């Protein structure tokens, strides 16, 4: 994007608490120069290029980058926590194949909270690591059981990374180095994003001194919506509905004329670009070449051009994730659960931060109801 084409600064005010400071965090900055993203001071481009997801999770949760020994033992620790409790498997087997996988994540997390309840905040790191290790097992166990009729053993996967583990469970074979690298980068991009809706949910829940599984379960429910994490699935449905870039342009123009919301575009905070988009777009292009795709990537690029030309709306993190995940053979309905597998690191880092300096979050409302109402007995209404 040329500087001359930049939008004016985003208006931060009005409904939705936009632009209001609702607390403090040392975890990330979003859109400080209109577009940047940092985790604990590290630029997202650097992290996505040089780090692995477990390293980023460690950074968020422990407050500093791990050295080689710390990273290696952290990855070994997470790898050793992948075994699903039998009672959780039983619950997952009851969930219908038609269920939304985000509902499966929500139920899986909630059930885990019954089986391995956080009894005291001293246990928080143990419970958080278990969720990081187990959420890929939860979604893959349910998906393979309900769709393929297979009972997988998540603990048997030898993949060292969470990205490799997920792809191995899903496809029953070790992923290519490229697929594992792209998914790992994607997990880094999605890990943390300041006071977004789902993280704020987790912090509100934490502020009542509730348990860690309740905080994450609430956050999963909030991420599920198409205005938030659910947009990557909606973006896939959009690009898949077109056969050519020209058809995409025509379709988008019609949607804009109808004032439809185009999923995967726009952002509540960034004013001229989402820095995660350039990164996942590069990976999507590479995967498209690798797969010999001549359709979905070009269609996605045309959508991006049309939306900027017509509305000065840019792709957010979700838009090119759709084609990237698709090229890796990931079913569309599992896109948002991958977001959960990643964002659980940011959510729980925020819960820890909230607990460390807590006051219950309880804002006020402007009352818009009647001044006073006259009581009428039930029989007379």
Ligand X SMILES: CC(=O)SCCNC(=O)CCNC(=O)[C@H](O)C(C)(C)COP(=O)(O)OP(=O)(O)OC[C@H]1O[C@@H](n2cnc3c(N)ncnc32)[C@H](O)[C@@H]1OP(=O)(O)O
Ligand Y SMILES: O=C([O-])CC(=O)C(=O)O
Q: Does 317 bind ligand Y (CB under 6 A)?
A: yes
Q: How far apart are CA 137 and CA 142, in angstroms?
A: 8
CB of 280 to ligand X, least distance (A): 11
Residue 154 binding: pick among ligand X, ligand Y, none (C-beta 5-8 Å cut-off by kind): none
Q: Does 341 bind ligand X (CB under 6 A)?
A: no
Q: Does 318 bind ligand X (CB under 6 A)?
A: yes
The residue written with tokens 């990330």 in the block is 28
Q: Does 130 bind ligand X (CB under 6 A)?
A: no
The residue written with tokens 């496809």 in the block is 171
Q: Which of 35, 75, 130, 193 binds ligand Y (CB under 6 A)?
A: 193
Q: Which stretch binds ligand X (CB under 6 A): 22-30, 39-47, 116-124, 222-230?
A: 222-230
Question: Nearest 5°: phi and psi at 199?
Answer: -65, -40
Q: Which residues within the stretch 1-30 sit at the binding site for ligand Y (CB under 6 A)? A: 30
Q: Which stretch binds ligand X (CB under 6 A): 117-125, 256-264, 281-289, 329-337?
A: 256-264
CB burial of residue 132 (10 Å; 0-12, 13-18, 19+): buried
CB-based contact 79:133 (threshold 8 Å): yes
Which of 75-113 are b and which e, b meaning 16 or more Cβ less than 10 Å from the residue's Cβ?
Answer: beebbebbebeeebbebbeebeeeeebbebbbbbbbbbb
Q: Does 261 bind ligand X (CB under 6 A)?
A: yes
The runs of H, that is alpha helices, within the chain are 44-50, 53-62, 68-79, 86-94, 101-115, 124-148, 162-171, 177-190, 197-207, 212-223, 231-240, 245-257, 275-291, 296-311, 319-327, 335-356
Residue 265 binding: pick among ligand Y, ligand X, none (C-beta 5-8 Å cut-off by kind): ligand X
**Residue with Cβ nearer ligand Y (363 or 370):** 363
Q: Order the strands of the 42-43 sheet from edge to edge.
A: 28-30, 37-39, 42-43
Residue 295 binding: pick among ligand X, ligand Y, none (C-beta 5-8 Å cut-off by kind): none
Residue 333 binding: pick among ligand Y, ligand X, none (C-beta 5-8 Å cut-off by kind): none
CB of 182 to ligand X, least distance (A): 17
Q: Look at residue 38 and give its three-state secondary structure.
A: strand
User: What is the chain's length?
Assistant: 381
Minimal CB distance residue for ligand Y = 196
Q: Does 268 bind ligand Y (CB under 6 A)?
A: yes
Q: Does 175 bind ligand X (CB under 6 A)?
A: no
Q: Does 162 bind ligand X (CB under 6 A)?
A: no
Q: Does 263 bind ligand X (CB under 6 A)?
A: yes
CB of 289 to ligand Y, least distance (A): 27
The residue written with tokens 């909230």 in the block is 354
Q: Which residues within the stretch 204-263 sit at the binding site for ligand Y (CB under 6 A)? A: none
Q: CA dist 191 to 3, 240, 288, Å?
A: 29, 27, 24
**Residue with Cβ nearer ligand Y (30 or 338):** 30
Catalytic residue annotation: 228, 267, 318
Q: Does 317 bind ligand X (CB under 6 A)?
A: yes
DSSP result, 179-195:
HHHHHHHHHHHHS--TT
Q: Does 128 bind ligand Y (CB under 6 A)?
A: no
Written as six digits, the tokens of 326 are 């698709």
CB burial of residue 303 (10 Å; 0-12, 13-18, 19+): buried
Q: Does 264 bind ligand X (CB under 6 A)?
A: yes
**Residue with Cβ nearer ligand X (206 or 268):** 268
CB of 20 to ligand X, least distance (A): 13
The residue written with tokens 């928080």 in the block is 124
Site string for ligand Y, 25-64 (x = CB under 6 A): -----x----------------------------------
Q: How far apart are CA 187 and CA 285, in angstroms?
A: 18
Give residues in contact with ligand X (CB under 6 A): 227-229, 231, 261-268, 313, 316-318
Q: Which residues bind ligand Y (CB under 6 A)?
A: 30, 193, 196, 268-269, 316-317
């Amino acid at each position: 994007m040329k500087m001359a084409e930049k939008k004016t600064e985003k208006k931060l005010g009005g409904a939705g608490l936009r632009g209001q400071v609702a607390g403090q965090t040392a975890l990330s900055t979003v859109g400080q120069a209109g577009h940047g993203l940092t985790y604990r001071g590290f630029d997202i481009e650097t992290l996505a290029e040089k780090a692995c997801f477990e390293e980023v999770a460690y950074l968020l949760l422990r407050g500093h980058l791990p050295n080689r020994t710390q990273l290696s033992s952290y990855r070994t620790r997470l790898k050793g926590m992948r075994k699903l409790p039998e009672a959780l498997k039983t619950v997952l087997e009851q969930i219908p194949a038609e269920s939304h996988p985000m509902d499966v994540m929500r139920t899986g997390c909630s059930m885990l909270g019954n089986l391995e309840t956080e009894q005291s905040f001293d246990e928080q790191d143990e419970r958080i690591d278990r969720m990081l290790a187990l959420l890929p097992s939860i979604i893959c166990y349910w998906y393979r059981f309900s769709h393929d009729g297979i009972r997988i053993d998540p603990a048997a996967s030898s993949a060292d990374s969470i990205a490799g583990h997920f792809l191995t469970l899903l496809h029953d074979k070790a992923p290519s180095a490229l697929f594992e690298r792209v998914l790992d980068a994607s997990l880094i991009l999605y890990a943390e994003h300041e006071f977004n809706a789902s993280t704020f949910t987790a912090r509100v829940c934490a502020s009542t001194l509730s348990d860690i599984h309740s905080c994450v379960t609430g956050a999963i429910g909030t991420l599920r919506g198409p205005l938030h994490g659910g947009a990557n699935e909606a973006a896939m449905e959009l690009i898949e509905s077109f056969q050519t870039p020209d058809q995409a342009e025509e379709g988008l123009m019609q949607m804009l004329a109808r004032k439809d919301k185009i999923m995967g575009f726009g952002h509540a905070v960034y004013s001229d670009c989402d820095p995660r988009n350039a990164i996942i777009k590069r990976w999507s292009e590479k995967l498209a070449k690798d797969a010999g795709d001549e359709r979905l990537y070009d269609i996605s690029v045309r959508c991006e051009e049309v939306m900027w030309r017509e509305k000065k709306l840019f792709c957010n993190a979700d838009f090119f994730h759709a084609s990237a995940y698709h090229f890796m053979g990931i079913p569309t309905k599992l896109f948002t659960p991958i977001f959960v597998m990643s964002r659980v690191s940011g959510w729980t880092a925020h819960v820890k931060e909230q607990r460390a300096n807590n006051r219950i979050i309880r804002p006020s409302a402007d009352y818009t109801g009647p001044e006073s109402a006259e009581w009428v007995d039930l029989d007379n209404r």
